[in-house]
Amino acid sequence: MTGKPPRYLSAFAEQYAGDPREAARQWFRSAGYGLFMHYGLYSLLGRHEWVQFRERIPVAAYAGLKDGFRAANFKPDWIVDFAVSCGMKYINLTTRHHDSFCLWDTRQTTFNVMQAPCGRDLIGELAAACDKRGLGLCLYYSHGRDWKHPHAPNNDRWGGNARPAYDPPEPAYATGAAHDLRYYLDFVTAQITELLTQYGPIAAIWLDGIAVPLHPLDEAGRERVGFDPRVDGDVFRCQELYDHIHALQPQVLVSYKQGYLGTEDFFAPEHKAYSRFGDEFADKPGEICTTAGGGWGYTAGHDDLSAEVLWTKLREAREARHNLLVNVGPLPDGCFPEQAVITLSAVGDQLRNGV
Protein backbone atom coordinates (compact mmCIF):
# COMPACT_ATOMS: atom_id res chain seq x y z
CA MET A 1 0.00 0.00 0.00
CA THR A 2 1.39 3.38 -0.98
CA GLY A 3 -1.16 5.45 0.93
CA LYS A 4 -2.38 8.91 0.04
CA PRO A 5 -0.39 10.65 -2.71
CA PRO A 6 1.59 13.81 -2.01
CA ARG A 7 -0.43 16.95 -2.61
CA TYR A 8 1.41 17.81 -5.82
CA LEU A 9 0.37 14.38 -7.19
CA SER A 10 -3.28 14.63 -6.12
CA ALA A 11 -4.47 14.65 -9.75
CA PHE A 12 -2.63 11.35 -10.30
CA ALA A 13 -4.01 9.44 -7.30
CA GLU A 14 -5.13 6.41 -9.30
CA GLN A 15 -1.75 6.00 -10.99
CA TYR A 16 0.02 6.65 -7.69
CA ALA A 17 -1.80 3.75 -6.03
CA GLY A 18 -0.36 1.34 -8.61
CA ASP A 19 3.05 2.85 -9.39
CA PRO A 20 4.16 6.01 -7.54
CA ARG A 21 7.12 6.72 -9.80
CA GLU A 22 5.09 6.35 -12.99
CA ALA A 23 2.52 8.73 -11.51
CA ALA A 24 5.37 11.17 -10.84
CA ARG A 25 6.62 10.84 -14.42
CA GLN A 26 3.15 11.61 -15.74
CA TRP A 27 2.91 14.62 -13.43
CA PHE A 28 6.33 15.82 -14.53
CA ARG A 29 5.43 15.57 -18.21
CA SER A 30 2.31 17.62 -17.59
CA ALA A 31 4.00 20.22 -15.35
CA GLY A 32 5.61 22.11 -18.20
CA TYR A 33 7.19 25.00 -16.32
CA GLY A 34 9.19 25.36 -13.13
CA LEU A 35 11.19 27.86 -11.08
CA PHE A 36 14.89 27.27 -10.37
CA MET A 37 16.79 29.18 -7.67
CA HIS A 38 20.55 29.29 -7.07
CA TYR A 39 21.08 30.81 -3.64
CA GLY A 40 24.02 30.57 -1.27
CA LEU A 41 27.15 32.30 0.00
CA TYR A 42 28.18 33.20 -3.56
CA SER A 43 25.05 35.40 -3.71
CA LEU A 44 26.67 37.76 -1.20
CA LEU A 45 29.48 38.53 -3.67
CA GLY A 46 27.31 38.90 -6.79
CA ARG A 47 29.99 37.47 -9.05
CA HIS A 48 28.53 34.15 -10.22
CA GLU A 49 28.10 30.89 -8.28
CA TRP A 50 31.58 29.78 -9.42
CA VAL A 51 33.30 32.76 -7.79
CA GLN A 52 35.30 30.60 -5.34
CA PHE A 53 36.61 28.50 -8.21
CA ARG A 54 37.27 31.31 -10.67
CA GLU A 55 38.96 33.65 -8.18
CA ARG A 56 40.65 30.82 -6.25
CA ILE A 57 39.35 32.08 -2.93
CA PRO A 58 40.93 29.89 -0.21
CA VAL A 59 38.57 27.52 1.56
CA ALA A 60 38.87 29.22 4.96
CA ALA A 61 38.42 32.71 3.50
CA TYR A 62 35.36 31.65 1.53
CA ALA A 63 33.88 29.90 4.56
CA GLY A 64 34.05 33.24 6.38
CA LEU A 65 31.21 34.47 4.16
CA LYS A 66 28.91 32.36 6.34
CA ASP A 67 29.10 35.09 9.00
CA GLY A 68 27.27 37.47 6.67
CA PHE A 69 24.55 35.11 5.46
CA ARG A 70 21.21 36.30 6.86
CA ALA A 71 18.64 35.67 4.11
CA ALA A 72 16.40 38.27 5.76
CA ASN A 73 14.18 38.59 2.67
CA PHE A 74 14.14 34.99 1.56
CA LYS A 75 10.40 34.45 1.98
CA PRO A 76 9.21 30.98 0.91
CA ASP A 77 5.49 31.80 1.02
CA TRP A 78 6.04 34.78 -1.29
CA ILE A 79 8.24 32.68 -3.59
CA VAL A 80 5.65 29.92 -3.89
CA ASP A 81 2.77 32.36 -4.41
CA PHE A 82 4.81 34.15 -7.07
CA ALA A 83 5.63 30.88 -8.85
CA VAL A 84 1.96 29.90 -8.88
CA SER A 85 1.00 33.32 -10.27
CA CYS A 86 3.55 32.81 -13.06
CA GLY A 87 2.02 29.47 -14.10
CA MET A 88 4.77 27.29 -12.61
CA LYS A 89 4.06 23.84 -11.22
CA TYR A 90 7.24 23.11 -9.31
CA ILE A 91 10.26 24.73 -7.66
CA ASN A 92 13.89 23.62 -7.54
CA LEU A 93 16.32 25.14 -5.01
CA THR A 94 20.03 24.54 -4.53
CA THR A 95 20.34 22.65 -1.27
CA ARG A 96 24.14 22.57 -1.59
CA HIS A 97 26.10 23.97 -4.50
CA HIS A 98 29.73 23.24 -5.37
CA ASP A 99 30.94 25.47 -2.53
CA SER A 100 29.37 22.95 -0.08
CA PHE A 101 27.32 25.47 1.95
CA CYS A 102 24.03 23.81 2.95
CA LEU A 103 20.65 25.53 3.10
CA TRP A 104 19.15 23.04 5.55
CA ASP A 105 19.70 21.78 9.08
CA THR A 106 22.21 19.06 8.23
CA ARG A 107 24.01 16.99 10.84
CA GLN A 108 26.83 16.11 8.44
CA THR A 109 28.63 19.47 8.55
CA THR A 110 28.54 22.76 10.43
CA PHE A 111 28.83 24.60 7.12
CA ASN A 112 25.12 25.34 6.96
CA VAL A 113 22.43 27.98 7.44
CA MET A 114 21.74 27.06 11.04
CA GLN A 115 25.31 27.99 11.96
CA ALA A 116 25.06 31.34 10.13
CA PRO A 117 23.24 34.49 11.32
CA CYS A 118 20.36 33.26 9.14
CA GLY A 119 19.54 30.54 11.67
CA ARG A 120 16.65 29.26 9.51
CA ASP A 121 16.16 25.97 7.70
CA LEU A 122 15.41 27.36 4.24
CA ILE A 123 14.70 23.95 2.72
CA GLY A 124 12.23 23.13 5.48
CA GLU A 125 10.43 26.43 5.07
CA LEU A 126 10.21 26.07 1.30
CA ALA A 127 9.01 22.47 1.60
CA ALA A 128 6.13 23.58 3.84
CA ALA A 129 5.20 26.45 1.51
CA CYS A 130 5.24 24.19 -1.58
CA ASP A 131 3.08 21.57 0.11
CA LYS A 132 0.56 24.21 1.16
CA ARG A 133 0.06 25.30 -2.46
CA GLY A 134 0.41 21.85 -4.06
CA LEU A 135 3.67 22.57 -5.88
CA GLY A 136 6.29 19.91 -6.39
CA LEU A 137 9.61 20.58 -4.62
CA CYS A 138 12.75 19.47 -6.43
CA LEU A 139 16.09 19.58 -4.64
CA TYR A 140 19.31 20.46 -6.46
CA TYR A 141 22.36 18.75 -4.95
CA SER A 142 25.96 19.08 -6.12
CA HIS A 143 27.16 15.51 -6.46
CA GLY A 144 30.22 15.66 -8.73
CA ARG A 145 31.86 18.73 -7.20
CA ASP A 146 32.54 19.91 -3.67
CA TRP A 147 35.17 22.58 -3.04
CA LYS A 148 35.31 22.07 0.73
CA HIS A 149 35.06 18.39 1.65
CA PRO A 150 38.58 16.94 2.09
CA HIS A 151 37.78 13.77 0.13
CA ALA A 152 35.63 15.17 -2.69
CA PRO A 153 36.80 14.55 -6.27
CA ASN A 154 40.18 16.18 -6.78
CA ASN A 155 42.22 17.44 -9.70
CA ASP A 156 44.72 14.58 -9.47
CA ARG A 157 42.19 12.00 -10.62
CA TRP A 158 39.08 13.74 -11.83
CA GLY A 159 40.35 16.63 -13.94
CA GLY A 160 41.22 20.29 -13.60
CA ASN A 161 37.67 21.50 -13.00
CA ALA A 162 36.98 19.31 -9.94
CA ARG A 163 38.68 21.76 -7.54
CA PRO A 164 39.93 25.34 -7.76
CA ALA A 165 43.54 25.41 -9.00
CA TYR A 166 45.03 26.70 -5.75
CA ASP A 167 48.71 27.71 -5.75
CA PRO A 168 50.05 26.85 -3.26
CA PRO A 169 47.84 23.78 -2.76
CA GLU A 170 44.84 24.05 -0.45
CA PRO A 171 45.88 22.50 2.90
CA ALA A 172 42.31 21.42 3.74
CA TYR A 173 42.24 18.89 0.88
CA ALA A 174 43.29 15.26 1.23
CA THR A 175 45.62 14.35 -1.63
CA GLY A 176 47.52 11.37 -2.99
CA ALA A 177 47.22 8.17 -0.96
CA ALA A 178 45.42 10.07 1.81
CA HIS A 179 42.48 10.87 -0.48
CA ASP A 180 39.57 8.44 -0.29
CA LEU A 181 36.50 9.17 -2.42
CA ARG A 182 34.42 6.74 -0.36
CA TYR A 183 34.33 9.18 2.56
CA TYR A 184 32.81 11.81 0.30
CA LEU A 185 30.26 9.41 -1.20
CA ASP A 186 29.16 8.36 2.28
CA PHE A 187 28.73 12.05 3.11
CA VAL A 188 26.58 12.53 0.00
CA THR A 189 24.36 9.56 0.84
CA ALA A 190 23.92 10.76 4.42
CA GLN A 191 22.92 14.24 3.27
CA ILE A 192 20.45 13.05 0.64
CA THR A 193 18.97 10.73 3.26
CA GLU A 194 18.37 13.78 5.45
CA LEU A 195 16.70 15.64 2.61
CA LEU A 196 14.36 12.73 1.94
CA THR A 197 13.47 11.99 5.57
CA GLN A 198 13.11 15.46 7.10
CA TYR A 199 10.88 17.45 4.72
CA GLY A 200 7.97 15.33 3.55
CA PRO A 201 7.37 14.28 -0.07
CA ILE A 202 10.00 15.48 -2.56
CA ALA A 203 9.34 15.58 -6.31
CA ALA A 204 12.91 15.14 -7.57
CA ILE A 205 16.55 14.94 -6.61
CA TRP A 206 18.41 16.97 -9.23
CA LEU A 207 22.12 16.08 -9.26
CA ASP A 208 24.79 18.37 -10.71
CA GLY A 209 28.52 18.23 -11.43
CA ILE A 210 28.32 15.49 -14.06
CA ALA A 211 31.40 16.66 -15.98
CA VAL A 212 33.68 15.45 -13.19
CA PRO A 213 32.66 11.76 -12.97
CA LEU A 214 32.21 11.56 -16.74
CA HIS A 215 35.84 12.51 -17.47
CA PRO A 216 38.29 10.82 -15.08
CA LEU A 217 42.01 10.79 -15.81
CA ASP A 218 44.21 7.75 -16.26
CA GLU A 219 47.28 7.15 -14.11
CA ALA A 220 49.33 9.41 -16.40
CA GLY A 221 46.90 12.29 -15.91
CA ARG A 222 45.32 11.98 -19.37
CA GLU A 223 41.56 12.15 -19.89
CA ARG A 224 40.07 8.73 -20.50
CA VAL A 225 38.50 9.29 -23.93
CA GLY A 226 35.32 7.32 -24.39
CA PHE A 227 34.99 6.49 -20.69
CA ASP A 228 31.54 5.06 -19.98
CA PRO A 229 30.57 4.30 -16.36
CA ARG A 230 28.11 1.66 -17.57
CA VAL A 231 31.03 -0.31 -19.01
CA ASP A 232 34.09 0.83 -17.08
CA GLY A 233 32.52 0.85 -13.62
CA ASP A 234 30.41 3.35 -11.71
CA VAL A 235 33.06 4.53 -9.26
CA PHE A 236 30.69 7.21 -8.02
CA ARG A 237 28.11 4.61 -6.89
CA CYS A 238 25.33 6.47 -8.68
CA GLN A 239 23.03 3.51 -9.26
CA GLU A 240 23.37 2.62 -5.60
CA LEU A 241 22.38 6.20 -4.76
CA TYR A 242 19.44 6.17 -7.18
CA ASP A 243 18.15 2.94 -5.64
CA HIS A 244 18.54 4.39 -2.15
CA ILE A 245 16.55 7.49 -3.15
CA HIS A 246 13.72 5.41 -4.58
CA ALA A 247 13.69 3.18 -1.50
CA LEU A 248 13.24 6.23 0.75
CA GLN A 249 10.52 7.85 -1.38
CA PRO A 250 9.29 5.75 -4.31
CA GLN A 251 7.77 8.68 -6.21
CA VAL A 252 10.98 10.74 -6.29
CA LEU A 253 12.39 11.32 -9.77
CA VAL A 254 16.16 11.39 -10.25
CA SER A 255 18.06 13.47 -12.78
CA TYR A 256 21.77 13.87 -13.45
CA LYS A 257 21.82 16.58 -16.10
CA GLN A 258 22.05 15.10 -19.63
CA GLY A 259 22.43 11.57 -18.23
CA TYR A 260 25.22 9.65 -16.50
CA LEU A 261 24.12 6.00 -16.46
CA GLY A 262 20.96 6.25 -18.53
CA THR A 263 18.87 4.96 -15.60
CA GLU A 264 17.86 8.48 -14.54
CA ASP A 265 14.14 9.23 -14.53
CA PHE A 266 14.48 12.37 -16.65
CA PHE A 267 17.17 14.39 -18.39
CA ALA A 268 17.81 18.06 -17.59
CA PRO A 269 20.32 19.60 -20.01
CA GLU A 270 21.19 23.28 -20.04
CA HIS A 271 19.63 25.68 -22.56
CA LYS A 272 18.66 23.14 -25.25
CA ALA A 273 17.03 19.71 -25.52
CA TYR A 274 19.43 16.78 -25.72
CA SER A 275 20.48 13.61 -23.93
CA ARG A 276 23.90 12.02 -23.79
CA PHE A 277 22.19 8.80 -24.86
CA GLY A 278 20.37 10.16 -27.90
CA ASP A 279 17.37 8.35 -29.34
CA GLU A 280 18.01 5.31 -27.13
CA PHE A 281 16.25 7.12 -24.27
CA ALA A 282 13.98 9.43 -26.25
CA ASP A 283 10.89 8.23 -24.38
CA LYS A 284 12.10 9.66 -21.06
CA PRO A 285 10.84 13.01 -19.81
CA GLY A 286 13.05 16.02 -20.42
CA GLU A 287 13.61 19.40 -18.87
CA ILE A 288 15.59 22.33 -20.24
CA CYS A 289 17.13 24.52 -17.56
CA THR A 290 18.03 28.10 -18.39
CA THR A 291 18.70 31.26 -16.44
CA ALA A 292 17.39 34.81 -16.27
CA GLY A 293 20.82 36.31 -15.53
CA GLY A 294 24.45 36.18 -16.61
CA GLY A 295 25.10 33.41 -14.11
CA TRP A 296 22.96 30.99 -12.18
CA GLY A 297 23.77 32.55 -8.84
CA TYR A 298 23.19 36.30 -8.51
CA THR A 299 25.52 38.15 -10.90
CA ALA A 300 25.31 41.91 -10.46
CA GLY A 301 24.33 43.79 -13.61
CA HIS A 302 23.28 40.70 -15.58
CA ASP A 303 19.60 40.25 -14.80
CA ASP A 304 18.55 40.97 -18.35
CA LEU A 305 16.39 38.17 -19.74
CA SER A 306 13.40 39.70 -21.51
CA ALA A 307 9.86 38.36 -21.53
CA GLU A 308 10.10 37.90 -25.30
CA VAL A 309 13.22 35.73 -25.03
CA LEU A 310 11.79 33.71 -22.14
CA TRP A 311 8.55 33.14 -24.03
CA THR A 312 10.56 31.86 -27.00
CA LYS A 313 12.48 29.49 -24.71
CA LEU A 314 9.22 28.21 -23.24
CA ARG A 315 7.76 27.63 -26.69
CA GLU A 316 10.91 25.81 -27.86
CA ALA A 317 10.84 23.59 -24.79
CA ARG A 318 7.21 22.70 -25.47
CA GLU A 319 8.01 21.87 -29.08
CA ALA A 320 10.70 19.49 -27.84
CA ARG A 321 8.18 18.03 -25.35
CA HIS A 322 10.37 19.19 -22.48
CA ASN A 323 9.62 21.25 -19.42
CA LEU A 324 11.33 24.61 -18.98
CA LEU A 325 13.05 25.27 -15.66
CA VAL A 326 13.91 28.97 -15.51
CA ASN A 327 16.44 30.13 -12.94
CA VAL A 328 16.50 33.23 -10.77
CA GLY A 329 19.52 34.13 -8.67
CA PRO A 330 18.13 35.82 -5.53
CA LEU A 331 19.91 38.92 -4.26
CA PRO A 332 22.16 38.63 -1.17
CA ASP A 333 19.21 39.19 1.17
CA GLY A 334 17.10 36.57 -0.62
CA CYS A 335 14.66 38.75 -2.54
CA PHE A 336 14.27 38.43 -6.31
CA PRO A 337 15.90 40.94 -8.70
CA GLU A 338 13.35 43.43 -10.00
CA GLN A 339 13.84 42.57 -13.67
CA ALA A 340 13.34 38.86 -12.99
CA VAL A 341 10.01 39.61 -11.32
CA ILE A 342 8.93 41.78 -14.26
CA THR A 343 9.94 39.17 -16.84
CA LEU A 344 8.41 36.16 -15.11
CA SER A 345 5.23 38.08 -14.35
CA ALA A 346 4.83 39.10 -17.99
CA VAL A 347 5.21 35.49 -19.17
CA GLY A 348 2.76 34.41 -16.48
CA ASP A 349 0.26 36.90 -17.87
CA GLN A 350 0.71 35.42 -21.34
CA LEU A 351 0.11 31.91 -20.03
CA ARG A 352 -3.07 32.97 -18.24
CA ASN A 353 -4.32 34.64 -21.39
CA GLY A 354 -3.57 31.56 -23.45
CA VAL A 355 -1.28 33.43 -25.82
Please state, in angstroms and as integers, the Cα–Cα distance from residue 288 to each residue in 189, 205, 265, 271, 327, following that order.
26, 16, 14, 6, 11
Sequence-ordered list of residues with C-beta below 8 angstroms from that of 15, at least 6 positions apart, any chain = 22, 23, 26
Q: Which residues contact 177 (CB under 8 A, 6 or more apart)?
A: none
**Residue 340 CA, distance from chain mean position:** 19
Contact 297, 328 (CB under 8 A): no
The answer to whether the beta carbons of residues 9 and 16 sit under 8 Å apart is yes
Give the span between the Cα atoms of 142 and 95, in whole angstroms. Answer: 8
Domains of the chain: 32-352 (3.20.20.80)
Which stretches of the chain are assigned E, i.e. beta strand? 33-37, 90-96, 136-142, 204-208, 253-256, 286-291, 322-328
Contact 44, 117 (CB under 8 A): no
Measured CA to CA, the distance from residue 10 to residue 4 in angstroms comes to: 8
pLDDT per residue, tens digit, the chain (355 aa), is: 468 999 999 999 999 999 999 999 999 999 999 999 999 999 999 999 999 999 999 999 999 999 999 999 999 999 999 999 999 999 999 999 999 999 999 999 999 999 999 999 999 999 999 999 999 999 999 999 999 999 999 998 899 899 999 999 999 999 999 999 999 999 999 999 999 999 999 999 999 999 999 999 888 888 888 889 999 899 999 999 999 999 999 999 999 999 999 999 999 999 999 999 998 888 999 999 999 877 899 999 876 789 999 999 999 999 999 999 999 999 999 999 999 999 999 999 999 987 6
d(CA 59, CA 82): 35
Which is nearest to 137 in space by CA: 324, 19, 6, 314?
6
CA distances from 21 to 74, 78, 88, 191, 299 (A): 31, 29, 21, 22, 36
Structure confidence at residue 140 (pLDDT): 99
- Dist. CA 334–CA 298, nearest whole Å: 10
Q: What is the pLDDT of residue 355?
A: 63
**pLDDT for the residue numbered 1:** 41
Cα 230 to its chain centre, rounded Å, is 23
Total residue count of the chain as it appears in this document: 355
- The answer to whether residues 253 and 203 touch, using CB atoms and an 8 Å cutoff, is yes
Task: Print burial letters for 213-238: b (CB count within 10 Å at least 16), e (below 16).
Answer: bbbbbeeeeeeeeeeebeeeebebbb
